[in-house]
Amino acid sequence: MKNMDIFERFRVAMNERRVEDINSILKEVNHFNPSEFNWVSDIVESYPKSKKAVILVDLDNKKEEKAITYGELIEETNRLLNFLRKEGIKKGDPIYIMTPVVIEQWVSLMAVIKGGLIGVPTAINLTPYELNYRFHDLPPKAIIADVESAKKVDETKVKTLKISLGKVDGWHNYDEIFGESNNATPERTSPKDQILNYFTSGTTGMPKRVLHTAVSYPVGNLSTASFIGIKSDFIHVNLSAPGWAKFAWSSFFSPFIMEATVLGVNYSGKLKVDDYLSVVDEYEANSFCAPPTAWRQFVTTDLRKFKLTKLQEAVSAGEPLNPEVIKSWKDVFNVKIRDFYGQTETTAMIGNFPWEDSIPGSMGRPSPMYDIQLVDDDGNVIKGGEVGHIAINLQKVRPIGLFLGYSDEEKNLSAFRGSMYFTGDKAYVENGRWFFVGRSDDIIKTSDYRVGPFEVESALLEHPAVAEAAVVGYPDPTRWQVVKAYVVLKPGYTPSKDLAMELHEHVKKLLLSYKAPRRIEFVEELPKTISGKIRRKELKKKEEEKFKDGKIGENEFVI
């Protein structure tokens, strides 16, 4: 199998909606195993140089527009890669990328892959406390950051090569790369070489590091592109921030796999619904990907202000989207929002294809790339209608979109059991359609994010009033769940609304704001096992019962 052929055949099949060919390719690609493969040099560099790769609209700067063609993107990629190499960066070195939605984000990801480096996409809203943990786990050889993020990096005192998108003392200015050659030799990478590492929330510890290879995302995201339904002549927009896997899925790999154009929209602060939709309308986007929280906000405005005449595909991922939201959007634009499902550890695994009828509330059917099975705790396949674990069967073939593993071997032993990879999510199946139920572990799913209880508990314990803490998810009709904290106070402290607010603000200073508890209940003690472990399952069950009954704890405060 030649490296180019499978991508060319996939693009033709997707553009012409040859469903049988698409399904066949998604199975076939699991056997894609060349001795060497560099997605940038082997695939992207073959695209027409004059075609627009990225159009960027900055809502923070009066809708300022910037655009870059595939030819210009390759040239700037080469300049950045040459600069990094001149500064001593070599294959396998970790490069943290911490920028908002700017052209340099795409350039940096391209340079990482072409150079065989390990990119570590990093959200700009991470705190120095969270950065310190990541830098300790995987020390950076270089960091590329915008000016504001550079200030947070400097608070960590990390010593490494630093490149800023603007003037920052002690940092190289990104503009220095333009003194380098616009030609660069690609690194000889193999399918097992790492090119991306993501930190994702863990159940019992701090964020775990997910290892992706030179093929797992660049090739594995054929599944994502097929669920979204991108065509080569599309302008594709995805509402997702850099630093998260979904940005890589939908703003980078999927549109570039299809040789399409990405519409990037940069904004800070809260989503301004009308401003965002006006850009999607003005630039005549053909496909639109956004998380459920954004779709719910979009339908609160008067949608008839917008035309969206070129929109053909709309997709949502994160948790099931409300049927009324899907109906509201379709009533105005005659485009149905389709759900799909995946993880940082994978590409899109289950979804509603554009050529199939979708059922509101269902995340669809498994991609031919993945052998998805519903199993019990021991890995035995269970009947449809019953709730079970979403697992990938690895017995026949390992799907190309599956990650290499975690950096922590103990976490690998927990996730990979026998011939199965357990996703940690639960679902049920009816008539071949899959329906998401929730996490099978203690991870909290809030809006489009996953929150590990341990890191929130650790942050709470740094407050002088807190003796013990346990964190669980509380059902929420808008966000799926919100973070709820049970707190045992030290002697001398008494429960109060003011103290609850103080704890909330304390966590916000240490962690991302969405991880701060929105409900805090002060209790005398926490339920524990004989060995002293907190019984979160007992607390979760209690919260579900309280939610159904509309009750609130005696010393519980909602923030």
pLDDT tens across the length of the chain (559 residues): 455 699 999 999 999 999 999 999 999 999 999 999 999 999 999 999 999 999 999 999 999 999 999 999 999 999 999 999 999 999 999 999 999 999 999 999 999 999 999 999 999 999 999 999 999 999 999 999 999 999 999 999 999 999 999 999 999 999 999 999 999 999 999 999 999 999 987 655 678 999 999 999 999 999 999 999 999 999 999 999 999 999 999 999 999 999 999 999 999 998 999 999 999 999 999 999 998 878 988 998 999 999 999 999 999 987 778 788 899 999 999 999 999 999 999 999 999 999 999 988 899 999 999 999 999 989 999 977 788 999 999 999 999 999 999 999 989 999 999 999 999 988 889 999 998 877 776 778 887 787 878 789 889 988 999 988 999 999 887 888 999 999 999 989 999 999 999 999 999 999 999 999 999 999 998 887 655 567 787 898 888 888 887 788 889 999 9
Within 10 A of 556 (CB to CB), how many other CB atoms are there?
Answer: 18
- Strands (DSSP E) contained in 269-312 are 287-290
**β-strand partners of 210:** 198, 406
**What span, in angstroms and rounded, lies between the C-alpha atoms of 308 and 278?**
9
Structural domains of the chain, with CATH: 70-213 (3.40.50.980), 444-558 (3.30.300.30)
Kindly state the tokens that stand for 278: 């006006």
List Cβ neighbours of 278 (8 Å cut-off, separation of 6 or more): 306
Distance, CA of 43 to CA of 3 (rounded, Å): 8
How much is the pTM? 0.84
Distance CA 316, CA 350 (A): 12
Q: How far apart are the C-alpha atoms of 451 and 529, rounded to whole Å?
A: 23
Query: Measured between alpha carbons, how far is 237 from 235 in angstroms, rounded to an integer?
Result: 7
